[in-house]
């Protein structure tokens, strides 16, 4: 059993396997979203960096997408 | 009158109506309204994915193919926040267009023009095509243009108010002095409001509540499409001068005695 760590994901504390990559995180969330953007500790991580970016304990992750909005 | 296209940045558009995607009772109604409107640009907001609601219907799946997504920075109160949202929107949407909003007051949703200028300068530096929402103030619009904005978007009236164009003279002055497209953003309540805006010579009109909040949003979307086209045609056709007294249209010769 892999060891766990705590990160903050979209404002909530979550326990994830140690060394979890952003791509693995997305897969585990089973999100049905077309396009998302990811911020790690306030810095955007581009799509091609999701696989290689491994989370550290205490990281703050934001996953955003588009919702209806306008005037 | 044909080929009446217009440009923002490096993109060319035929429709002069830009729609928001908020406040619809369902995504199905939104989709039908977007189709009926003939719009080529739709605004979207950037928000956290709801991790607890995996069955949520996707917005993007209901936006007709070919429409350009224009991420906004709605609900931002500082330049810093707006810049953060703009960057996220670009990353999620894969386009460098941003509808820049920096709000200064929650009751009126008037813009904070000082912060807006700071954010515009920064985002232009980062390669964004910046479309800022602002007051109907010609001086602010000029400053935004100088800061590199690709268009200026003065409000017709407060967001969601449906009051119509409150200060047509200001809009006219902005149109006269701007070298970038002018888009009236906010305040349109019904079709005639959109026509009035276009008759003033603006390049486009952006609306959301006027359609989404109508009893029949799809019918209103169709009405807005015609209203914008009518206003544009009338502007280009050149209206007659206003006169105090009547001038008869039928000949005064050949009248029976």
Q: Is B28 on the interface with A (CB under 8 A)?
A: no
Chain A closest-CA separation from residue B158 CA (Å) = 9
Q: What is the pLDDT along chain B (257 residues), one digit of tens a residue?
A: 568 999 999 999 999 999 999 999 999 999 999 999 999 999 999 999 988 876 677 888 899 999 999 999 999 999 999 999 999 999 998 799 999 999 999 999 999 999 999 999 999 999 999 999 999 999 999 999 999 999 999 999 999 999 999 999 999 999 999 999 999 999 999 999 999 999 999 999 999 999 999 999 999 999 999 999 999 999 999 999 999 999 889 998 998 98
Whether residue A16 lies inside any domain: the answer is: yes
B99 given a catalytic annotation = yes
Whether residue A45 lies inside any domain: the answer is: yes
pLDDT digits (tens, 9 = 90+) for A7-23: 999 999 999 999 999 99
CATH architecture of B6-237: Alpha-Beta Barrel (3.20)
Residues of A whose CB is below 8 A from B59: 66-68
Q: Which domain holds residue A36?
A: 4-55
> What ipTM was predicted for this assembly?
0.92
Whether residue A18 lies inside any domain: the answer is: yes
pTM (two decimals): 0.93
User: In whole angstroms, what is the distance from residue B186 CA to residue B33 CA?
Assistant: 18
Residues of A whose CB is below 8 A from B209: 70-71
The domain total for chain A is 1
**Residue A9 sits in a domain of what CATH number?**
3.10.20.30
**Alpha-helical runs (H) found in B94-216:** 113-125, 138-146, 168-177, 191-199, 209-212
3-state secondary structure of B203: coil
Whether residue A63 lies inside any domain: the answer is: no
DSSP 8-state assignment for residue B219: H
Name the interface residues of A facing B (CB cutoff 8 Å).
9-12, 29-39, 42, 44, 46-47, 62-71
Whether residue A68 lies inside any domain: the answer is: no
What is the DSSP annotation of chain A?
---EEEEEETTEEEEEETT-BHHHHHHHHT---S--EEEETTEEE-GGGTTT-B--TT-EEEEEEEEE---
Whether residue A70 lies inside any domain: the answer is: no
């Amino acid at each position: 059993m892999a060891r766990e760590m705590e990160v903050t994901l979209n404002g909530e504390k979550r326990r994830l396997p140690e060394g979890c990559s952003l791509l693995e995180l997305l897969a585990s969330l089973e999100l049905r979203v077309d396009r998302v953007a990811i911020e790690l500790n306030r810095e955007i991580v581009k799509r091609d960096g999701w696989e290689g970016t491994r989370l550290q304990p205490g990281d703050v992750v934001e996953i955003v997408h588009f919702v209806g909005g306008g005037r | 009158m044909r080929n009446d296209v217009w440009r923002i940045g490096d993109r060319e558009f035929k429709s002069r109506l830009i729609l928001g995607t908020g406040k619809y009772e369902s995504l199905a109604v939104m989709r039908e309204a977007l189709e009926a409107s003939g719009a080529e640009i739709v605004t979207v907001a950037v928000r956290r994915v709801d991790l607890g609601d995996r069955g949520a219907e996707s917005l993007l799946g209901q936006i007709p193919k070919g429409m350009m997504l224009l991420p906004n920075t709605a609900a931002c109160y500082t330049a810093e926040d707006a810049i953060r949202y703009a960057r996220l929107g670009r990353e999620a949407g894969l386009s460098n267009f941003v509808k820049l909003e920096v709000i200064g007051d929650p009751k009126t949703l008037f813009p904070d023009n000082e912060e807006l200028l700071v954010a515009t300068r920064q985002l232009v530096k980062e390669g964004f095509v910046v479309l800022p929402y602002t007051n109907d103030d010609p001086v602010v619009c000029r400053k935004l243009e100088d800061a590199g904005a690709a268009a200026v978007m003065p409000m017709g009236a407060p967001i969601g108010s449906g009051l119509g164009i409150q200060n047509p003279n200001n809009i006219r002055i902005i149109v006269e002095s701007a070298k970038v497209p002018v888009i009236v953003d906010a305040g349109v309540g019904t079709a005639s409001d959109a026509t009035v805006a276009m008759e003033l010579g603006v390049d486009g009109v952006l609306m959301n509540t006027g359609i989404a909040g109508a009893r029949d949003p799809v019918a209103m979307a169709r009405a807005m499409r015609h209203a914008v086209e009518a206003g544009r045609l009338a502007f280009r056709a050149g209206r007659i001068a206003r006169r105090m007294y009547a001038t008869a249209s039928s000949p005064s010769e050949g009248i029976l005695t």
